[in-house]
Amino acid sequence: MRIATIEKVFNLLSRDFPNPQTELKYINRYTFLISVMLSAQATDISVNKATRKLFEIVKNSKEMVELGETNLKRYIKTIGLYNTKAKNIIRLSKMLLSKYNNKIPKDFESLISLPGVGNKTASVYQNSILNVPRIAVDTHVFRVSNRIGLTKSRTVDLTQISLEKIVPKKWLMTAHHILIFHGRQICKARKPLCNICSVNKICYYRRDNLQS
């Protein structure tokens, strides 16, 4: 897809989602990172519901370690993969205390060295908290970017590499959220609402379906 067309895609989608921001509720950098970790294979709504009470008593890694894994599970048991997530959150919190003086590192390599923090989580953190122009790729971003034709990549990591190369600089900070909201509300997994999609005249998926 040509740069001019990519620019047009984001111009159109930005009209639908003019002020895209994370819907996760958080208090500080630490609680944001925990929320992002919990959001893997879970909805923001379910995460916010679980963390509302959790963040009343836990606001930093020291308090999380004091809470302990067993008690943490009681707060997040409604979230998918909560056993693994609880284990990683406690391990991460201990590492922040022992290695990083209770502060979250800023560089990407240090972030992904933290237990439970992968490429997507680190990219979301850098984008939303540190204002680093990263395009984190979740299932929505992966689906939408490949359907529209922004990229044709077989994995989320390759999709991120491709998007960060081709998306115009002015959209790098917001592209992640724009594509997520479009995927949630319009370009749904099973039944995309192509008839009301603002980029349906550009979209490869729509064009291919009309031709078949």
- The pTM for the full model equals 0.92
pLDDT at 212 (0 to 100):
53
> Are 145 and 151 in contact, with CB atoms under 8 Å apart?
yes
| CATH number for the domain harbouring residue 159 | 1.10.1670.10
Q: Are 53 and 124 part of one and the same domain? A: yes
Which residues 6+ apart lie within 8 Å of 15 measured at CB?
198
138 is catalytic: yes
d(CA 189, CA 112): 28
Point out the catalytic residue in the list 62, 73, 120, 165.
120
44 is catalytic: no
Phi, psi dihedrals of residue 67, rounded to the nearest 5°: -65, -45
Q: Are 10 and 68 part of one and the same domain? A: no
pLDDT at 23 (0 to 100):
94
Compute the half-sphere exposure of residue 69: CA atoms within 13 Å on the CB side of its CA.
Answer: 12
- Gyration radius of the chain over CA positions: 18
Number of domains in the chain: 2
Compute the half-sphere exposure of residue 64: CA atoms within 13 Å on the CB side of its CA.
Answer: 25
Q: Are 145 and 183 part of one and the same domain? A: yes
132 C-beta neighbours (distance < 10 Å), count:
16
Among 66, 96, 128, which residue terminates a domain?
Answer: 128
Q: Are 206 and 174 part of one and the same domain? A: yes
Residue with the two structure tokens 């291919």? 208
Q: Are 159 and 107 part of one and the same domain? A: no
Among 81, 112, 128, which residue terminates a domain?
Answer: 128
Q: Are 153 and 100 part of one and the same domain? A: no
pLDDT at 84 (0 to 100):
98
Chain centre distance of CA 44: 10
d(CA 152, CA 162): 9
d(CA 74, CA 58): 13
Q: Are 168 and 201 part of one and the same domain? A: yes
Domain around 57: 29-128
Q: Are 71 and 93 part of one and the same domain? A: yes
Q: Are 114 and 140 part of one and the same domain? A: no
Which DSSP category does 154 fall into? S
Among 109, 128, 147, which residue terminates a domain?
Answer: 128
Point out the catalytic residue in the list 138, 152, 169, 188.
138
The 3 state secondary structure assigned to 156-211 is HHHHHHHHHHHCCHHHCCCHHHHHHHHHHHCCCCCCCCHHHCCCCCCCHHHHHHHH
| CATH number for the domain harbouring residue 118 | 1.10.340.30
Q: Are 107 and 164 part of one and the same domain? A: no
Q: Are 148 and 80 part of one and the same domain? A: no
Low-confidence residues in the chain, pLDDT < 70: 210-212
Q: Are 114 and 48 part of one and the same domain? A: yes
